[in-house]
A and B are shown apart, each in its own frame.
Chain A
Amino acid sequence: MAAPPWRSSTGGVSYTAVAARRTLGGPKPGSHAPNGTSTSSPAPAGSSQGRTTFPDKLKQYVARTFEDCTDAEKPQVEAELKRIITDAFNEKVVWTVDWDKMPLPQQFIANRENEARSSGEARLSKGDTSPTRRSFGAFSLGDKKRKSPEQSEAKKLEKRIRSDNSYSSPSDELSQSDKEKRARRFGLNNPTPPSPQPSYEPVDTSKPLVGRCMNLEKRYLRLTSEADPNTVRPLHILKQTLELLKRKWRTEQNYAYICDQFKSLRQDLTVQHIKNEFTVSVYEIHARIALEKGDLGEYNQCQSQLANLYAEGIKGHKYEFKGYRILYLIHTCNRADMNDLLASLTPAEKADDHVKHALDVRSAMSVNNYHRLFKLYLNAPSMGAYLMDAFVNRERLAALSAICKAYRPDIDTRFVAEELGFEGDHDCITWLIENGGEEFIKQTTDEKGAPTGIRFLTSKAAATVEAAKGKAFHKVDIKGQV
C-alpha cells in the first residue's frame, strides 16, 4: 500500500522531533508537521484508506516490536503497542507517521519508568528548593490579582500547548530548542508531556483507575473528561504529598498554593475511588486549613465529603467536625438542616466537647444571650473560633443593638468590650468606628480635665446600630452552600 504522494516526497526528514519526546503516547504534536507541504489536516488520507487497513510500515513496526520480546514483558508491550496504534488512528495520523523512525513500545515503557523514578526522587530530595515552589510562590493571598510575569507566561504556555496539541494544527513555529525548553519548563508543573490527550485505553468505569504519576506536586485543574492515569498520583505518592504539604504549610503559610495542591490531591483520591482513613485525614487537614484562612466555601466542600466518609464508618475526628457543622449551620441560619442534625445526635456525640460547645453556642444564640455567646467564643475548642469568626460580627451588632436599647443614656466602652468578647478596649472602639459609631463615642473627664473613660452614647446610637445590624443579617451567602 503506497503512502500518499505528498508524504513520500518529504520522507522522514522532519521526524527528528520524535527523539525529543520525553515520555510516551502518540506522536508529539507538531513533530510531523513542519514538512510544510500541507497545512491541511492529514485526516483525509487516513480516512480514505478506511480504518481497518494498516500501512505496510506499521506492519513492519509491529513485527519489529515482537522480534525480541520476552514472554514476561509481552502483555505490557502489547498494551503499549495497542495504545500507540489506537492513538495514531484516533488522531488520524496512522498514514502520515513515519513508522520506521518510531521508537519501539519497549522504549516508551523504559523511558517512562526512568523518568518516573528520577522525578520522584528529585522531588523528594529537593524539597523546598524545587523550582515548582518558586513558581507557586507567585500566588499569595494578598496578591491574588497581580500575576507575576513568570506565572502568566506559564499560563499562556499552558494554553498554547493545549491548543497546539491537536494534530490538525500542524504549524508549530517554535524551534526545536525552544520546544525542548518549553517542555522542560512545563514539565516542572506537569509531570507528563503537555498533552491532555484523551485516554488511550477503553475506560472501564467499574474498575477504579490507578495513577502512574510520580510527582509529589500537581496543579489543580478541573477535569473535563476521563482522568488520565499518567497525571494521577497513586496512593503511596499521595501520602508523601500530604507530608510535604503539611511541612510546607507550617513553614510557608502560602494558602493559595496549599489550597490548590489539596484540591488536586483530593481530585486524585476521587478519580481513584480511594476512600480510607488517609482520605479522611486529607479532607480534615484541608478543612482545618481552610477554616484557619476563613475560606468557608472550601471548608464546606470538605465538610460534606467528610460527612459521607464518616457515614461509611471510616474513622476520623468525627465529633470535632460535627461540632464545626453545627457552628456552620448557625452561621448560615439553616434551621431545617439544624433540626435534622439535632435529631441525629447520639448521647455520645452530645457529650463530646466540640459538639457540646457548639450546642451551647446555639442555645445561647436562641435566646440572644450574648454574654454567654462571647464567653463561648473566647473559649472555643480546636478550630471552633475560626468558624465563629464568620458570624461574630453579625452577632456583635445584634448584641450592641440590644445594649443600645436597654442602657440609657450611655455606657462605658470597656463594658461593651467585655460583653462582646473583644480582646481590648482598643479593638472594641475600632470596631465601633468601623460600624459607623464614631460620632457616638465620647471621652469623659473629671473636674480637672483628666480623662476618666470612654463612653458610648447608646440612646443616640440606637438607630444607626440597628441599621448596621439589619445589613449584617441580610447577607449570608456562601459559594458551595449545602
Chain B
Amino acid sequence: MFFTDLRSALVGQNALLLGTLFNPTNSDYSRSFAYSSNAAQINEVVRRELGSLRSAGFTNNGKEIMIETVVAFWNVVYELERSGVTTHREHDEGYWPKVYAAQRTVMGLVCRGFNTGGWANWMLPMLYSTCRYLREFAMAADDEDSKAENASSLEDAARHLNKGFTLCLSDRAPLPESRKWGTYYMANILFKTYFKLNSITLSKNVLKALEALGKDLPPIEQFPKSHIVTFKYYVGVINFLEEHYKAAEENLLTALQLCKSTASSRNHQLILTYLIPAHLITTHQVPSSDLFRNYPRLRTLFGPITAAIRSGNLQAFEAALEQNEDEYVKRRIYLTLERSRDIVLRNLFRKVFLISNKSTRIPVEDFRKAMGFSLAGKNGGLRKEIEAEEVECLLAGMIYKGLMKGYISRDYGKVVLSGTSAFPGTGV
C-alpha cells in the first residue's frame, strides 16, 4: 500500500500525498510498511518497487537517492513501531535518540536529493514532513535524555533544519521550478526551533539571511497563506521582544487578518497574546471586553489587568500583574505589560483633572491623595501615604513622556495644565 501510493504520488506529482507518506507517524501506512520487510531485505524491496521511477522524470542519481531515502525512512518507521508493539513498557531506553538518529539520516538524504539528485520543487512537502518530524523526534529525544548531559538533539536538529532553509533560499533555478517557494515554511520551522531553544539571536540571523537574499524571492502574498501567517507571527514576536513595538504590531496584525476566522482560535489567541500588549504600548489603548468573548484564555490573561488600566486602579493593577506574573514571564510579556503602569497613572491623574472640573491649576496634594486611594484599592485596604516628592516625580514622568501637557510650579505646589488638551488623546 505504501509503495503503490508512493509510486502514484511520484508519477502523478501529488505533492500532498507525498508529504503524507513521509509522515512516519501516519497510522494509515506505518504499521503495514514497517512489517512489510526486514532490515536485510528492505533495500532490495525498495529497489524493486521503485524500479520504474525513471519514467516519472527522475534522473538515475535522483532515483538512487530516492531509494536510499525510502530505505532510511523505513528504518525510522520500523524503530517507531518495533518498541511500541513488542514491549508493554513505556519505551526502551534510548528509544527516542535512536528514532531521532534514523530521522536525521532521512533528512540528510532528502537534502541531497534536492541538491544533487535533481528532485523537482513540487516535492518540497516531502522536505516539510521530514523537517517537522526531525524536530519532534529531537525534542522527544531531549526529553528522554534530560538527565544526561549530552549536547541537545534539538540543537543538532536546528543545524540540519538550517541546511534545509538554505537549500530553499539560495536555489537559483527560475522561479517556477525554484525551491524558493519553500523558504517561508523552512524559516518558520527554524523560528519554532530557535524559540524552543530560547535563542532569539539565531532567529534574527534567519531574518538577516532573508533580508540579504530576499529580493529574489517572489512577493510574500504569492506564498501559501499558512506559511505567511506563521511567518508574520514570528517576525512580530521577534520585533516585540526587541522592543520594536510598531513593527511588531504591524506584523501581528497582518497575521491576525490573514488567519482564517474558522481556524482554531488557538492561533488567534497566540497572535493576540503579543498584539494586545504591543498595541497598549503604541497607542495606549486596551482591548474592549468584546474581544475576549471568544477567547476565554485571553480573558483570564488580560481581563483583570486591562480593567485596572482602564479605571486607573493602581492596587488592582499591581494585583493583576502579580497574580499572572508566572504566565506573563513565561510568555515574555511581563516587562512590556509592566510598562503600562504609566497608563494606569495617566488615567488616574486624568480622573483628578475631571473631578476638579478641568481646572488648569491643580495642587500636587490632590494628585498625592488620589494615588493614596488608588494604591489602597477598592476594598478599603490601608491608604498608603505617598511622599509629595514621589508624586512630583511621577507627574514629571507623565509630562516628559507627553502623557500630560503642562508643568509643575514647585514654588506654588501646583501643576499647571494645558487648557486645550491636558491629557492628549483622551478627549480632554
Contact = CB atoms under 8 A, between A and B. Distances in A.
B397 interface: yes
B200 A336 contact: yes
Interface stretch (A44-52, A105-113, A277-285, A366-374): A366-374
Interface string B89-127: 000000000000000000000000000000000000000
Contact of A406 (B241, B345, B387, B400): B400
A408 interface: yes
A434 interface: no
B342 A402 contact: no
A452 to B, nearest CB: 13
A401 B402 CA distance: 13
A411 interface: yes
Could you say which interface size class chain B belongs to?
Answer: 20 to 34
Interface string B313-326: 00000000000001
B342 A367 contact: yes
A326 B398 CA distance: 26
B347 to A, nearest CB: 14
B396 A405 contact: yes
Interface stretch (A19-27, A148-156, A302-310, A339-347): A339-347
Interface string A399-424: 10111011110011001001100000
Interface in B295-350: 326, 329-330, 332, 334-335, 338-339, 341-342, 345
Contacts of A408: 407-409
Contacts of B409: 407-408
B339 A366 contact: yes
B241 A336 contact: yes
Given A367-B341, A367-B342, A419-B389, A402 B332 contact: no
B243 interface: yes
A465 to B, nearest CB: 11
A335 B243 contact: yes
Interface of A is mostly: helix
B397 A402 contact: yes
Nearest to B333: A339
Interface string A365-402: 01111111000000000000000000000000001011
A371 B408 contact: no
A408 B399 CA distance: 12
Contacts of B399: 402, 405-406
Nearest to B404: A406
A335 B339 CA distance: 13
Contacts of A418: 389
Contacts of B262: none
Interface residues of A, number: 28
Nearest to A459: B407
Interface string B386-410: 0101101111110111000001111
Contacts of B396: 402-403, 405-407
B427 to A, nearest CB: 23
B257 interface: no
A347 B401 CA distance: 34
Contacts of B335: 335, 338-339, 342, 366
A371 B410 contact: no
Contacts, number: 79
Contacts of B394: 367, 369, 371
A407 B410 contact: yes
A60 interface: no
A369 B341 CA distance: 11
Contacts of B330: 343
Best-surrounded residue of B338, B342, B393 (most CB of chain A within 10 A) = B393
Contacts of A368: 397, 400-401
Contact of A371 (B341, B345, B389, B401): B389
B198 interface: yes
Given A339-B332, A343-B330, A371 B407 contact: no
Contacts of A371: 387, 389-390, 392-394
Contacts of A401: 400
A419 B387 CA distance: 12
Given A406-B407, A408-B409, A339 B393 contact: no
A8 interface: no
Nearest to A338: B335
A419 B410 CA distance: 13
A457 to B, nearest CB: 14
A342 B390 contact: no
A236 B338 CA distance: 50
A21 B334 CA distance: 67
A367 B393 CA distance: 10
A136 to B, nearest CB: 40
Contacts of B408: 406-408
A363 interface: yes
Nearest to B330: A343
B395 A367 contact: no
Nearest to A345: B329
A377 to B, nearest CB: 14
A409 to B, nearest CB: 9
B410 to A, nearest CB: 6
Nearest to A343: B329
A111 B397 CA distance: 73
A339 B407 contact: no
Interface string B402-428: 000001111000000000000000000
A401 B399 CA distance: 11
A16 B246 CA distance: 81
A405 B243 CA distance: 25
B320 to A, nearest CB: 15
A336 B326 CA distance: 16
A366 B387 CA distance: 19
Interface string B186-215: 000000000000101000000000000000
B407 to A, nearest CB: 4
Contacts of B329: 339, 342-343
A40 to B, nearest CB: 50
B359 to A, nearest CB: 18
Nearest to B341: A367
B243 A340 contact: no
A418 B392 CA distance: 13
In the complex, which of the residues A370, A402, A406 has the most CB atoms of chain B within 10 Å of its own CB atom? A406
Interface string A56-85: 000000000000000000000000000000
Contacts of B400: 368, 401-402, 405-406
B410 A411 contact: yes
8 contacts: A335-B241, A336-B241, A343-B326, A367-B342, A371-B389, A403-B396, A406-B396, A407-B407
Interface of B: 198, 200, 241, 243, 326, 329-330, 332, 334-335, 338-339, 341-342, 345, 387, 389-390, 392-397, 399-401, 407-410
Interface of A: 335-336, 338-340, 342-343, 363, 366-372, 399, 401-403, 405-408, 411-412, 415, 418-419
Given A336-B241, A343-B329, A403-B396, 18 more contacts: A335-B241, A336-B200, A339-B329, A339-B335, A342-B334, A342-B335, A366-B341, A368-B401, A369-B393, A371-B394, A372-B390, A402-B397, A406-B392, A406-B396, A406-B397, A407-B396, A407-B408, A407-B409
